Amino acid sequence: MQPAADTEDGDGTNDGITRPRNMTQTLPAELVARIIAFLVPPVDRNASTLPHPTGPNLAYTPALPSPTNQSLLSVASCSTLLHRIANQALHRTVLLRSLKSLNLLAGTIAADTNQLSHTLQKEQRHVEDRAAWIRSIHLPPGDGLLQPGDTLADQTCYIESLRILLDHASRLDFICLEHRQAGAALLEFLHPSTACRPRRITLSNLSFSAPPFSATRSLAPLSKLTHLHLIKIVPPPALISFLVGESINSDEQGNVPKSLEAGLSPGETLECLRLSLLPPDALVDFGAYIAWRKAWKKYEQLTTQEQAQEYAPRAPRGPARRFAVQEALYDLAVYSSRLPRLRLLLLELSPLGPLPPPVNGPFADFLRSRGIPRVLPVALPGPSPASSRGDRNASMSQKALCADVRAKRSDANNFFDAIRSSRSAEDRTSYAASSSGPQTVQYYFGDDAGLHDTNGGVNDEDDDDAPPSTAEDLRTAERDKYWRLVEAGKGALVELWAASQQLSNNAAGCGAPDIRVVTARPMGHDRREGFQDFYCQAQNEPPGSTSTELSANSRENGSMVRDHEASEEVGCWADPDVFSLISTAPWLSYTSQVGESYHWTGELPRKTNYPTSLVIPSMIFLT
């Protein structure tokens, strides 16, 4: 005999459809929630990692996840229980693309709050508190600027909507926001009535000056930070003082001292710090800056009479923007003992752009053999003369020939063979030099010539300043020198950090962090790249984890948790160091316009001296 069936659904209504009794009540609500969570479109944990670990080339980026959640909406219409659980899944990760969407969300939260305030037994009335369901949110781009579909009325409600959201979203764990001088997102977030204490914050600066951290009303929302991503922001002294929990500068501190007295510094919880879109020369001559700061510290300890007899140390020459970045990095390193949990420091330098293709070599010979000019003629304004279909096809084929084609993962063997050949050539020149005395020896790899010394593959200053000997050297010399200076600056920062750790003798610390110079975003963290990284981090966070739980686990398990967390980083936090890519993915910064050889674009370094000397030729010939 078949079991009884009725036509009543989970919320007690009769829709005329026969179904088993209590179809949604036979499973625990927690299990139903886990099942419904699988209806959320999945996101690759490395979707915003650059370069993508499995992508074919440097330009590869996965498509943005679909913003539609039709499956969740369909489930929500089945019963009261499923409606509530699906609603929680929908509100867990919120990406607001416009001011209108922010106002609609704020209106929903305000309605829930008003209903809750008039309900004494909200559990029985099934009153929804959607603000408490939000775990990750991306505020509208532009910090109050009109977006497609917005009106002036939507802009008028911007600050009020921000206040409603931030006052009630008490369980917010990850927030992405932008700041501009006339905006309100950052100022409203750093407000005494803000209810959330997120662990992850991405802050992008749209103005030419740094955000006014010292002028904010409250720094409490930053007190539980574990991951801080600053885009186009050089940390000012006030922010560094707050992060390390100690005033490092008496000027422009604002309410930082009061925040430190209240124990609001995230120094005990901060694990990862990323500084993006720094000036390209941020690490150039950083060793000289460190030497000047140390000399100045000694000079300040002299008496007035002794200072009168000594010359004051001179600061290294350079632009003010470089000076500001190096000052911030120096202060972070010197006070690193105040950041015992910091394990990852990522520095993203603004890109210099790709180098032009070689003027001589296989590509130029290929064009000359077919009668194609090296520089294509520029079309003059006005009506074009009549041309045949054959002429148009020839023009299109010329453009196709000049289109860059990036080297792919399938070309890896050619690049690794080139590295081995380069090492063999260097070994031969080193052996020849050792038998005839110290000298500079040239060797050729194909059409690429380079200057290499005999000091274990490490070039000295004289070799760096030597004039280029070939056209290819002339094309690549300045960019090679730039990357050498960046690597030297990174090495100076690592040494300074390690020395500061040793001086502090901090037994509770976990050693120096992993300091990486990472690949610059090709579009400068535009809207699409920001959305991609938001989805990547929000959708791949372990469910149910809070800052309190993670901090407790970190204190109990120590380095074991630290190593586990390092392997679990997602999105932009998983970006590798650009100098490590020389040995792991050497093809990334090479392109071709012929298909017979690849040339170096300069977007990533091709030489490194740490831990051992490694050089990739600037021209790679396909086999």
Q: Is residue 290 situated within a structural domain?
A: no
Angle separating helix axes 29-37 and 80-92, nearest 10 degrees = 50
| Total domains present in the chain | 1
Tell me, what's the pLDDT at 613? Answer: 83
Say if residue 256's pLDDT is above 80.
yes
Q: What distance in Å separates the CA atoms of residue 72 and residue 69, rounded to the nearest whole number? A: 5
Mean pLDDT of 245-264: 86
The backbone torsions φ and ψ at residue 359, rounded to the nearest 5 degrees and listed phi first, read -85, -20
Any bridge partners for residue 598, and if so which? 620
Mean pLDDT of 273-280: 98
pTM for this structure? 0.83
Tell me, what's the pLDDT at 412? Answer: 86
Q: Is residue 612 situated within a structural domain?
A: yes
Q: Is residue 419 situated within a structural domain?
A: yes
What residues contact residue 365 under an 8 Å CB cut-off, 6+ apart? none
* Structure confidence at residue 38 as a pLDDT band (50, 70, 90): confident
Q: Is residue 610 situated within a structural domain?
A: yes
Range of the domain at 464: 363-373+402-508+575-623
Q: What distance in Å separates the CA atoms of residue 419 and residue 425, rounded to the nearest whole number? A: 10
Q: Is residue 452 situated within a structural domain?
A: yes
Q: Which two tokens stand for residue 134?
A: 């939000």
Q: Is residue 622 situated within a structural domain?
A: yes
Mean pLDDT of 268-284: 97
Share the mean pLDDT of the chain: 80
The tens digit of pLDDT for each residue in 606-618 reads 998 887 788 888 9
The tens digit of pLDDT for each residue in 588-602 reads 999 987 667 889 999
Q: Is residue 426 situated within a structural domain?
A: yes
Tell me, what's the pLDDT at 121? Answer: 52
Mean pLDDT of 503-508: 61
Mean pLDDT of 172-200: 95
Q: Is residue 464 situated within a structural domain?
A: yes
Say if residue 458's pLDDT is above 60.
no
Say if residue 109's pLDDT is above 80.
yes
Q: What distance in Å separates the CA atoms of residue 132 and residue 552, rounded to the nearest whole number? A: 23
Most confident by average pLDDT, 53-62, 487-496, 548-557, 561-570: 487-496
Tell me, what's the pLDDT at 391? Answer: 54
Say if residue 359's pLDDT is above 80.
no
Min mean pLDDT across 39-48, 293-302, 328-337, 455-464 is at 455-464
